[in-house]
Amino acid sequence: MTPMKLARSIGVPLLAVAVFLAFWEWLVWFNGWPRFKMAAPSDLPPAFERHWSLFLSMGWQTLWRTVVGLILAVIFGTILGMIMGFSRIMRDALYPLLVGFNAIPKATVVPIVALMFVGQHDFNTVLLAFMISFFPIAVSVSIGLSTLEPEYRDILRSLGASQATIFWKIALPKTLPEFFGALKVAVTLAFIGTNLMEIVSPHGRGLGALFDSGRTNSDFPLMFAVLIALAFLGIVLYYIVVALEKIFAGWAERAPG
């Protein structure tokens, strides 16, 4: 990339962000909104500064619970997807259950989980992050496996390969692009799950709880600062998945042209 192009590829998005922030700042100033009604971008750095240690400790709580929930979703979703991908009967049996479960808005599950496992905050949060994010993974793995062209199996089966060998050598790698596509969706969903639990069932942990304490005090700068922190964590997690995808399924990306 030439320096000119580089400057443009960085400069244009930066400029867009600056214009957006300026408009936001102007909107608050123009309407004369006080801080208990709306926060301006200039209010955010002081808010971060004031609560910095809280942001660090609660951000970490949100992050690790999301990641653990996501890892569980990957394990469970992959196993479920394999079962549905290999067995027609299991697919017919499990699919309606899965769709029904997925159709329930997870916000309604929060009180149930919170009541069932009262006091076990970490467990509750991880559970909700898991419940909300395993669906796309299970579906993508099952579709990837069940749509494997029969010739791919035949190539190895005609040589006497076992089902396990066919799975490791062909079915699994061939499903990876679909799997990572689903993981990108799941990582965002898991994050939503964690925050739902932290906000709806406040127990003083995680960025969701910090947000909630801002809400009770009408502390708009704090609430917006939490939103920015959440966006930052979400972006970091998303790009970790993108990096993993490049490593393990980079072959699926075709050279342009």
Partner 1 sequence: MTNLIEIKNVRHAYRTDAGPLPVLDGLEISVPEGGFVAVVGPSGCGKSTLTRLIAGLMKPDEGEVWLHGERVKGPRSTVGMAFQNPVLLEWRTILKNVLLPLEIVPTKLTRAQAEERARFLLSLVGLEGFEDKRPSELSGGMRQRASLCRALIHQPDVLILDEPFGALDAFTREDLWQTMHKVKEREPFTGVLITHDLRESIFLADQVVVLSGRPARTQYVLDVPSTGPRTLDDLYTPAAVEQLAILRHQIQIAQGRATPEDSPA
Shortest distance, position 190 Cβ to partner 1, whole Å: 27
Write out the DSSP string of 28-56: HHHHT--TTT---GGGHHHHHHHTHHHHH
Shortest distance, position 29 Cβ to partner 1, whole Å: 54
Nearest by Cα to 60 from 192, 193, 207: 207
**Dihedral, CA atoms, 167, 172, 174, 178, nearest 10 degrees?**
140
Nearest by Cα to 201 from 102, 93, 113, 86: 113
Question: Cβ closer to partner 1: 156 or 227?
Answer: 156
Shortest distance, position 36 Cβ to partner 1, whole Å: 56
Q: Which positions lie near partner 1, rule CB under 8 A?
A: 149, 151-152, 154-161, 165, 169-170, 173-174, 176, 249, 251-252, 254-255
DSSP-derived 3-state class of residue 59: helix
Residue with tokens 């971060």: 48
Residue type, 164: A
Question: Cβ closer to partner 1: 90 or 155?
Answer: 155
Give the DSSP H or E segment for 122.
helix 121-146
Question: Cβ closer to partner 1: 32 or 257?
Answer: 257
Question: Cβ closer to partner 1: 130 or 180?
Answer: 180
Shortest distance, position 173 Cβ to partner 1, whole Å: 5
Shortest distance, position 77 Cβ to partner 1, whole Å: 22
Taking residue 175's Cβ as centre, other Cβ atoms within 10 Å add up to: 25
Nearest by Cα to 141 from 165, 102, 171, 115: 171
Question: Cβ closer to partner 1: 5 or 254?
Answer: 254
Question: Cβ closer to partner 1: 14 or 247?
Answer: 247
Question: Cβ closer to partner 1: 33 or 248?
Answer: 248
Residue type, 147: T
Shortest distance, position 241 Cβ to partner 1, whole Å: 18
Distance, in Å, from the CA atom of 95 to the CA atom of 101, rounded to the nearest integer, reads 10
Shortest distance, position 152 Cβ to partner 1, whole Å: 5
Which residues contact residue 161 at a Cβ distance below 8 angstroms, ignoring those fewer than 6 apart? 169
